Chains A and B, each alone.
Chain A
Amino acid sequence: MSKSILSRVLGTAAAVALGLAAAGAHADGKVKAGFIYVGPHNDGGYSQQHDMGRLEAQKNLGDKVETSYVESVPEGADAERVIRQMAASGANIIFTTSFGFMDATIKVAKQFPKVKFEHATGYKTADNVGIYNARFYEGRAVIGTMAGRLTKTNKIGYVASFPIPEVIQGINSATLAARAVNPNVTMSVVWVNSWYDPGKEAAAAQALMDQGVDVIMQHTDSPAPLQAAAQRGFWGFGQSGDMHQYAPDAQATGIVDHWGDYYTQRIQAVIDGTWKPDNTWGGFAANMVNLATFSDKLPADVKAEALKVEDDIKTGKRHPFQGPIKKQDGSEVIPAGKTLSDDELSGMNYYVEGVIGTIPN
């Protein structure tokens, strides 16, 4: 084992050296793309998905691009320093991949008007700052459909992180989809107030199952809720990356972030000189959201239905938020025939009918 650790250390050192070397090579005409991660590049979740996107872009564009990354950058003053350093060392485009890098990105972008910036999941843009995010709620509509079919107790549990619109979209999208196939379903939500605390996430899932829930969904980043479901022989759904290996039977499927296509396109635009600040919010159709490995134990009809929902959303036949949608109290959000606009989604601050409890504020 010590040998493998040593080789890893050396590997990391080599990667760092490579990154530095890459930073100095501007004259050969290669476009240099830098990435800033909030977690380790191999965190098995959010940051790892971004790093896989980087590698995919590198592979697609070959020697037209040099990529480098800085990992485990705390959101705050440190982020600004790291982004500035990357810009100063000759990067042409920098992807800052966490919400908390927003202000630092805008600030550094002002000082380096020739460098292009792309900020994930934020909302501030500038002449040289674009933003991008994925429509994860499209994936939630698929797994909500499956959960509605799989539950025997008609109770689904949701381990949630923070009450922000993105998370609430997911809860509502899953609930609407589950009730579309099984009107008796209710959704119980537990907020753990953290993106990442395996112990607490597992305890939340267990509390839900103790109350009669038999399908667990999660919008937190560790595989702990999924493992807790597996322990009791219940169904769970992975998050961010494919969590198949943690619970091969119990992970019905999961929502996988996929950034490779987007990164390839945006770096290509820099190479072509056509880059403009964008505001991209892509889902299945843009190949930014994928489904994880399906469990072999999953009934074939449930899998087929899930794939159909994915396809319908991809082709625009179905919208996860199509009317009629009612709030918890029965009041109507939109009537049949209409769908929620992106602006309405971005400000979502209510539960739909079928969710138990109220949103904390």
Chain B
Amino acid sequence: MFLDTTGAIIAATIIAATPLLLAAIGELVTEKSGVLNLGVEGMMLVGAVAGFAVDSAGGGAFGGLIAAMLAGAAMAALFGFLTLFLLTNQVATGLALTMFGTGLSALAGQGFVGTTVPRLGKIDIPLLSQIPLLGPAFFSHDALVYGSVLITAAVWYFLYRTRGGLILRAMGESADVAHAIGYPVIGIRFAAVLFGGAMAGLGGAYLSLAYTPLWAENMTAGRGWVALALVVFATWRPWRAMLGAYIFGGVTIAQLHVQGMGVSIPPQLLSMLPYAATIVVLVIISRDATRVKLNAPAALGKPFLPTA
């Protein structure tokens, strides 16, 4: 019984963390290129509704996930066009993108309220999923859970072990220098923005296709903002973003279990706990101020106008 419950808590934690992780990893790449996109919540919602729409129209779960990424990327393209080409303020444009995405997804989703699609299927990894405790906790999830871990690993590898990643990070440190060396700053940043949008869309679709297979207006319920915060507290490091997402998910799930057992703690306090715990842990691991500064993209949020 104890083993079963622990396994269930860990599994639920990973599931609760997956949409946050996907959105945070995307935003991390965007911010590493020097662009701050506060529209994560809006992109997630548009991804959620697009994925649900395509799945329920017969496109299947896979088609839904692709559609969600495209829809998120399309929203990001709008943001990229405004901020990178027309040089609008990134903070204001990002906030507007969230409002736009909230409204657009509500409008597009009107016909899907009250319907459902088959839940994204679980894939039991042979042999590993048979291990007591660890099996149900880690090796009996849907494809997107495994995918989110692989994406995190790939992003880490790309950013810190490849030439392309070095160039992308250079955009975030000093666009002027990167431009002087001859790199296409706008193009690379645009690509990073698109990746961020696609991941946010995928995170949104995880909610509408796997977590709770339904469409409901504003169903992300603030998870886009949590993802944004995770990027900062993770000091722009992919594995720390994953750790942060899992801590957030873990405390969320644990407090629900504690309540179910009849332990008396104010629910307002418990609702706050995931945020507080994540902040505390990530502040502790990033308490070295110089290292935070080293990790923060120096040109974050600064518009770039190519000279000559």
Q: Say if A and B assemble together.
A: yes
Specify which of A207, A356, A357, A361 is in contact with B12 (CB 8 Å cutoff): A207
Are A222 and B262 touching (Cβ within 8 A)?
Answer: no
A43 CB, min distance to chain B CBs, angstroms = 7
- Kindly state whether residue B261 has any CB partner on chain A within 8 Å: yes
- Kindly state whether residue A255 has any CB partner on chain B within 8 Å: no
**Residues of B with C-beta under 8 A to A356:** 261-262
**Residues of B with C-beta under 8 A to A157:** 260
**Residues of B with C-beta under 8 A to A213:** 260
Chain B 89-132 interface 0/1 with A at a Cβ cutoff of 8 Å (1 = within): 00000000000000000111011011110010000000000000
Chain A 189-230 interface 0/1 with B at a Cβ cutoff of 8 Å (1 = within): 111111011111111101110110100000000111001100
Chain A 339-361 interface 0/1 with B at a Cβ cutoff of 8 Å (1 = within): 00000000000000000111011
Are A207 and B107 touching (Cβ within 8 A)?
Answer: no
B58 CB, min distance to chain A CBs, angstroms = 11
Are A43 and B5 touching (Cβ within 8 A)?
Answer: no
Are A198 and B113 touching (Cβ within 8 A)?
Answer: no
- Kindly state whether residue A111 has any CB partner on chain B within 8 Å: no
A191–B111 Cα distance when bound, in Å, is: 30
Specify which of B8, B53, B260, B268 is in contact with A360 (CB 8 Å cutoff): B268
A194–B222 Cα distance when bound, in Å, is: 12
Specify which of A203, A206, A360 is in contact with B266 (CB 8 Å cutoff): A360
Q: With A197-B221, A198-B207, A222-B216 in contact, do A43 and B266 touch (Cβ < 8 Å)?
A: no
Q: With A163-B267, A196-B221 in contact, do A202 and B114 touch (Cβ < 8 Å)?
A: no
A357–B262 Cα distance when bound, in Å, is: 4
- Kindly state whether residue A175 has any CB partner on chain B within 8 Å: no
- Kindly state whether residue A1 has any CB partner on chain B within 8 Å: yes
- Kindly state whether residue B214 has any CB partner on chain A within 8 Å: yes
B112 CB, min distance to chain A CBs, angstroms = 10
A188 CB, min distance to chain B CBs, angstroms = 5
A360–B4 Cα distance when bound, in Å, is: 28
Q: With A193-B267, A199-B212, A222-B216 in contact, do A210 and B5 touch (Cβ < 8 Å)?
A: yes
Interface centre among A199, A200, A201 (most CB of B within 10 A): A199
**Residues of A with C-beta under 8 A to B268:** 193, 360
B89 CB, min distance to chain A CBs, angstroms = 26
Are A207 and B253 touching (Cβ within 8 A)?
Answer: yes
**Residues of B with C-beta under 8 A to A201:** 212
Specify which of A40, A204, A224 is in contact with B256 (CB 8 Å cutoff): A204
Q: With A227-B213, A227-B214, A357-B263 in contact, do A193 and B271 touch (Cβ < 8 Å)?
A: yes
**Residues of B with C-beta under 8 A to A44:** 113-114, 216
Interface centre among B8, B115, B221, B260 (most CB of A within 10 A): B260
A248–B36 Cα distance when bound, in Å, is: 44
- Kindly state whether residue A274 has any CB partner on chain B within 8 Å: no
- Kindly state whether residue B265 has any CB partner on chain A within 8 Å: yes
- Count of chain A residues with a beta carbon within 8 Å of a chain B beta carbon: 48
- Kindly state whether residue B143 has any CB partner on chain A within 8 Å: no
Nearest-CB residue, chain B, relative to A212: B1
Are B261 and A211 touching (Cβ within 8 A)?
Answer: yes
Q: 8 Å CB contacts to A: which residues of B1-48?
A: 4-5, 8-9, 12, 16, 19
- Kindly state whether residue B152 has any CB partner on chain A within 8 Å: no
Are A199 and B223 touching (Cβ within 8 A)?
Answer: yes
Nearest-CB residue, chain A, relative to B208: A198
Are B16 and A40 touching (Cβ within 8 A)?
Answer: no
A8–B207 Cα distance when bound, in Å, is: 25
**Residues of B with C-beta under 8 A to A247:** 116
- Count of chain B residues with a beta carbon within 8 Å of a chain A beta carbon: 46
Chain B 65-102 interface 0/1 with A at a Cβ cutoff of 8 Å (1 = within): 00000000000000000000000000000000000000
Q: 8 Å CB contacts to B: which residues of A1-46?
A: 1, 4-5, 8-9, 39-40, 42-44
Are A223 and B110 touching (Cβ within 8 A)?
Answer: no
- Kindly state whether residue A231 has any CB partner on chain B within 8 Å: yes
Interface centre among A188, A201, A207, A222 (most CB of B within 10 A): A207
A289–B267 Cα distance when bound, in Å, is: 29
- Kindly state whether residue A112 has any CB partner on chain B within 8 Å: no
Are A245 and B115 touching (Cβ within 8 A)?
Answer: yes
B130 CB, min distance to chain A CBs, angstroms = 20
Are A189 and B107 touching (Cβ within 8 A)?
Answer: no
A200–B113 Cα distance when bound, in Å, is: 19
Specify which of A207, A222, A223, A361 is in contact with B257 (CB 8 Å cutoff): A207
Nearest-CB residue, chain A, relative to B223: A199
Chain A 227-242 interface 0/1 with B at a Cβ cutoff of 8 Å (1 = within): 1100100000000000
Are A8 and B5 touching (Cβ within 8 A)?
Answer: no
Are B57 and A1 touching (Cβ within 8 A)?
Answer: yes
CB<8 Å pairs between A and B, sample of 17? A1-B57, A5-B111, A8-B107, A42-B113, A44-B114, A189-B259, A192-B267, A193-B268, A200-B256, A202-B211, A203-B252, A207-B259, A210-B257, A227-B212, A357-B264, A360-B266, A360-B268
**B residues within 8 Å of A by Cβ?**
4-5, 8-9, 12, 16, 19, 53, 57, 106-108, 110-111, 113-116, 119, 207, 211-214, 216-219, 221, 223, 252-253, 256-257, 259-268, 270-271
Query: What 17 new A-B contacts, CB under 8 Å, besides A39-B217, A194-B271, A207-B256?
Result: A5-B107, A42-B110, A43-B216, A190-B259, A192-B271, A198-B211, A203-B256, A208-B256, A210-B8, A210-B9, A211-B5, A222-B212, A223-B116, A231-B119, A358-B262, A360-B264, A361-B266
